[in-house]
Amino acid sequence: MKPLADCHLYTFVDTAYLRGRDPAWVAQQLCDGGSDILQLRAKGSTPAEVRRLAESILPIARAAGVPLVINDHADVAREAGAEFCHLGQEDFFEAGHQRVEELQMADGRLQIGLSTHTPAQCARAVAAGADYVAIGPVYPTGTKPTARPVTLEYVRWAAAHVDIPWFAIGGINLGTIGDVLEAGARRVCVVSAILNAKDIAAECLRFKARLEAR
């Protein structure tokens, strides 16, 4: 399994962008395109539905050596055997959690990523033991239409202050990734720019090339 430190392209099987496509097929295309880490995001789905999706995707991710992240559902992540769970501020701190250990299995295998939108949130997430943090949304994004963009200033702050792995997220496409990398990002999350592409695997490869050329 690829270590988190070596993961630079973070992609998504997001049910909001499937448009009738099989989630397992999308996961395969992402892995074929060189995705380093893969998140299952199924907003509005029940835990049982998320579990079924995870079980269809996990063998594909495992065969590719790609860690699987389950969004929102730590219980599902533990039960399915995913490597990671990703949580927003409202799902972690606002839900009363203080340390990521509270959500881990007894052996500590489940790793936790946290969304952050300000330096203060990021510092708190790091202090809580997050394995990685998301920095964003950098630009306006359809995945979070009401979220205020944090701009490249937050990316620059993260580059100067965050020692754990972090991923820039939000509105990143092949037209904006150059500025994001110039601001100091070395890892990016990409949702719609890849899932809306005609050829998902080929689009992944284009992003990988930009990341590797930094």
Catalytic residues: 41, 115, 144
Give the DSSP letter of residue 153: H
Which tokens in the block code for residue 94?
């606002």
Torsion of CA 125, 47, 188, 154, to 10 degrees: -40
Q: How many CB atoms lie within 10 A of CB 75?
A: 13
Torsion of CA 30, 68, 97, 95, to 10 degrees: 50
CA atoms within 13 A on the CB side of 197: 21
Place of tokens 């990341």: 211
Residues 6+ apart with CB under 8 A from 193: 172, 173, 174, 203, 207
